[in-house]
Amino acid sequence: MTNEKLQEKTISTEPVFSGKVISLQIDTVELPDGTEAKREIIRHPGAVAVLAVKDGRLLLVDQYRQAMARCELEIPAGKLEKDEDPMEAAKRELQEETGYRCGKLTKLHSFYTSPGFADEIIHLYVAEDLTAGEMTPDEDEFLEVIEASFDEVQQYIAEGRIADAKTILAAYIWQLQLAQTPEQERK
């Protein structure tokens, strides 16, 4: 998948920071023309996100995000634990953050969120056969679950209340699914 004419070769890696969620390193690379450049790189364990629609309403989680100093409405999501299977993580995060258990999970995409500086990958699943239950968020997580109709989701995006790449992507996927479903089968 790598075009050799564009490839950069790593000359050295300087670890700068290693934290609970991310680590930071500075790589010195050789560019295709032989010159050197520095690349600031964030390492992340990877994450999962879940597109879950129950009775015509998208499951969203409202959560304070310190990076933006505001609450964000996002689809349920969370970091992979060490050696965790992404599909198991998706089931776990859906249950922890919304209380819902799902009978069926299907992988939609895996994508990098910020390829210019981070290796974070999100595995996005669609959940079906949803059964309500108890939320069990992590001890430093304070969440509120919001179930939003298609029109409400469009309004939240227009207002900037939803302003998160994975959630806007999920909204487009939902819109295409609805466009491909005969009206009498929608629920």
Q: Does 11 bind a second copy (CB under 8 A)?
A: no
Query: What is the rounded CA–CA span in Å between residue 124 and residue 94?
Result: 12
Q: Are 52 and 127 in contact (CB under 8 A)?
A: yes
**Which residue from 86, 95, 100, 120 is in contact with a second copy, where contact means CB under 8 A?**
120
139 is catalytic: yes
- Among 4, 134, 139, 183, the active-site one is 139
- Least gap, CB of 116 to a second copy (angstroms): 7
Tell me the β-bridge partners of 143.
63
Nearest to 122 by CA among 135, 107, 132, 136: 107
Task: Pull the structure tokens for residue 134.
Answer: 């108890």
- Over the window 19 to 38, marking each residue x when it contacts a second copy by CB under 8 A and - when it does not, the resulting string is xxxx-x-xx-x-xxx-x-xx
Q: Does 97 bind a second copy (CB under 8 A)?
A: no
Q: Are 55 and 88 in contact (CB under 8 A)?
A: no
- Judged by CB under 8 A, the stretch of 50-58, 82-90, 95-103, 142-150 that binds a second copy is 142-150
Reduced to 3 states, what is the DSSP secondary structure of residue 125?
strand
Query: What is the rounded CA–CA span in Å between residue 54 and residue 187?
Result: 8
Q: Does 173 bind a second copy (CB under 8 A)?
A: yes
Query: What is the rounded CA–CA span in Å between residue 26 and residue 12?
Result: 8
- Over the window 37 to 76, marking each residue x when it contacts a second copy by CB under 8 A and - when it does not, the resulting string is xxxxxx-x--x--------------xxxxxxxxxxx-x--
Nearer to a second copy, 58 or 77 (CB): 77
**Which residue from 176, 183, 185, 187 is in contact with a second copy, where contact means CB under 8 A?**
176
**Which residue from 57, 79, 92, 101 is in contact with a second copy, where contact means CB under 8 A?**
79
Reduced to 3 states, what is the DSSP secondary structure of residue 84?
coil
Nearer to a second copy, 1 or 132 (CB): 1
Strand (E) or helix (H) holding 165 = helix 165-179
- Alpha-helical (H) ranges within 9-80 are none
**Which residue from 81, 115, 149, 181 is in contact with a second copy, where contact means CB under 8 A?**
115
Nearer to a second copy, 17 or 55 (CB): 17
Catalytic sites, residue numbers: 139
